[in-house]
A and B are shown apart, each in its own frame.
Chain A
Amino acid sequence: MIEEIGRTTEGDLIINVGPQHPATHGVLHLVITLNGETIKKVEPHLGYIHRSIEKMCESLSYRQFIYVTSRMDYLSSHINNHACALCVEKGLQIEVPQRAQYIRVIMDELTRIASHELWWGAMAMDLGAFTPFFHAFRERENITDIMEKTCGARLTMNYIVPGGVMAELHPDFQKDVQRFIQLYKSKFEEYNELVTGNIIFQNRMKSVGVLSKEDAISYGCSGPVARASGVFCDIRKLYPYDIYNKVEFEEITETEGDSFARYLVRLKEMQQSIHIIEQLLGDIPEGDFQAKTKAVLKLPKGEFYQRVETARGELGVYIVSEGGTTPYRIKFRSPGFSNLSALEHMVKGLKIGDLIAAMGSLDLVIPDIDR
């Protein structure tokens, strides 16, 4: 890619952002064509962290492949595991115990909050404010501690397995989560005071990277990115899985479609997640945490597709089975991949500083894009 640094025949400057750049949050490489400071073209170069998870999964059993998926979108690893478990359960028609369903949904929502927290801190850091990062991590640390107690890991939890969850909850789980909710509620106002109301922040975010509703749909955007453009696309509402049809929550949408709208959607989503956890935490039913399943899982011949809502958007798991113990072909429809494809359309004609704001508001996780 070295030879691409330079000038085009029209005299436009070509620069590389990444793969080692703090604003790309990972090894994303963007080749940008600039006319002065105005962006003419953005071209993502992927593959720096491509581990070929889809190919690897073809030689892993239905119990094993779930662990690989924690490494895709590592900030929503619970939700990735959940998607795969649901897809296998769909194939085998396993009835998951109520208790496991409650635990799964609570864990999903905790993960969503943790992911949005990290995004919130990183977003502000992209725009030059360093302090919010520490505020975000102060709360996020509590979630990772809760995860560590129950799942034994802080990032790649591998807790959700076909048939339920891997282990019983830690005895302190409910108490810890309750304490976290209290803490979070007392600190949430700080977020708005520190960042949301900041006029510099607003000026840099408003009308930057506007994505219309039609474009959001055409580019296959999902999650907060699409919802900020007014698309109702929350899989938890549209195609409820586990006990999402029993909980009451609001699907947050905005209409502006700019970076600030995406910011607001995520901020409000965190509160909705707290609301979901509060509804479920008190009455987790007693019973088994895992359904009885065979030691070796064999999916019947056919095709299975499961959609779930991760912190970034719609994750799809598509399994083609030939009746064996390993998938014949597996495809992960990752939310970040489609959201990234809209980036060029969003930032064309803007200044290079706005690229960082727009890219930050997309909340890209590169291992999720590359897989």
Chain B
Amino acid sequence: MLNEDLKSKLAEILPLISFEDGGEWLNLFVPPEELLPFVTQLRWTQGLDFDYLFCLTCVDWKTHFTMVYHFSSTLHRHNIVVKSKIDRINPEIETVSHIWRTAEMLEREVYDLFGVKFRHHPDLRRLIMPDDWVGWPLRKDFEDPVNMIRL
């Protein structure tokens, strides 16, 4: 489905979302509390069928975090980027790991490196860093006096 068709179809389903211009794929912002119902619709609505979550990450914008989800559909071959701004002091968002199983590990990685808490995640622990590590390495204000590589 072309980006324009996708856009009009999504606007029908959820009037709250705001689109972002530019980029190769359709970019849209969803408020964090709307994220789970919205992506559930993306997954199960006929004609959308976004069954493949190929990238889940987070960007630290110093004032807030942006969760970025890249979805595609193996059925219709269209792609979409869903973003959600979340609070930086107490970052929390609903997990999507029960819809896309791959999200379980990806969310653990984001939790490990950014400290975003995923509500209702089955097993939210550190993945890469040691269990007793303090701090969130990929945050912009992270300073490690010992190991930080400065170039």
A residues apposed to B, CB below 8 Å: 46-47, 50, 52, 54-56, 59-60, 90, 215, 217-220, 222, 231-233, 238, 302-303, 305, 307, 314, 316, 318, 320, 328-329, 331, 333, 337-338, 340-342, 345, 370
Contact = CB atoms under 8 A, between A and B. Distances in A.
A69 B77 CA distance: 28
The B interface, classified by DSSP as helix, strand, loop or mixed, is: loop
B104 A54 contact: no
Nearest to B60: A329
Contacts of B74: 217, 231-233
A52 B100 contact: no
A55 B138 CA distance: 6
A215 B59 contact: no
Contacts, number: 83
A61 B27 CA distance: 26
A222 B55 CA distance: 12
A52 B148 CA distance: 10
B86 to A, nearest CB: 15
Given A333-B54, A338-B102, A338-B106, 10 more contacts: A52-B137, A218-B51, A218-B102, A220-B53, A220-B100, A232-B74, A316-B54, A318-B57, A338-B105, A341-B105
Interface of B: 22-25, 27, 51-55, 57, 59-60, 68, 70, 74, 77, 100-102, 104-106, 109, 113, 127-130, 137-138, 149-151
A52 B136 CA distance: 12
B101 A218 contact: yes
Contacts of B23: 302-303
Contacts of A231: 74
A316 B51 contact: no
Instruction: Please name the 6 residue pairs, one residue from A and one from B, whose CB atoms are nearest each other, closest first.
Output: A220-B102, A47-B128, A341-B105, A333-B55, A331-B57, A218-B101
Nearest to A340: B105
Contacts of B22: 302
Given A50-B128, A55-B137, A302-B22, A337 B101 contact: no
Contacts of A52: 137-138
Contacts of A50: 128-129
Given A218-B51, A303-B23, A314-B54, A56 B127 contact: no
B130 A47 contact: yes
Given A47-B129, A232-B74, A217 B51 contact: yes
A47 B127 contact: yes
Contacts of A220: 52-54, 100-102, 106
B70 A316 contact: yes
Contacts of A46: 127-128
A231 B138 CA distance: 33
11 contacts: A46-B128, A47-B127, A52-B137, A55-B138, A90-B24, A218-B100, A220-B106, A305-B24, A307-B54, A329-B59, A341-B102
B72 to A, nearest CB: 9
A303 to B, nearest CB: 6
Among A56, A318, A370, find the residue whose CB has the most chain B CB atoms closer than 10 A.
Answer: A318
A18 B130 CA distance: 16
Nearest to A329: B59
A133 B1 CA distance: 46
A40 to B, nearest CB: 15
Contacts of A303: 23, 27
Most buried by A among B68, B77, B109: B68
Contacts of A302: 22-23
Nearest to A50: B128
A217 B52 contact: yes
A338 B151 CA distance: 31
A370 B109 CA distance: 10
A304 to B, nearest CB: 8
Nearest to B127: A46
A305 B54 CA distance: 12
Contacts of B138: 52, 54-55
Instruction: Indicate the member of B53, B105, B109 with the most A CB atoms within 10 Å.
Output: B105
Contacts of A55: 137-138
B100 to A, nearest CB: 6
B52 A370 contact: no
Contacts of A218: 51, 100-102
Q: Which of B24, B27, B57 has the most chain A CB atoms inside 10 A of its CB?
A: B57
A305 B151 CA distance: 25
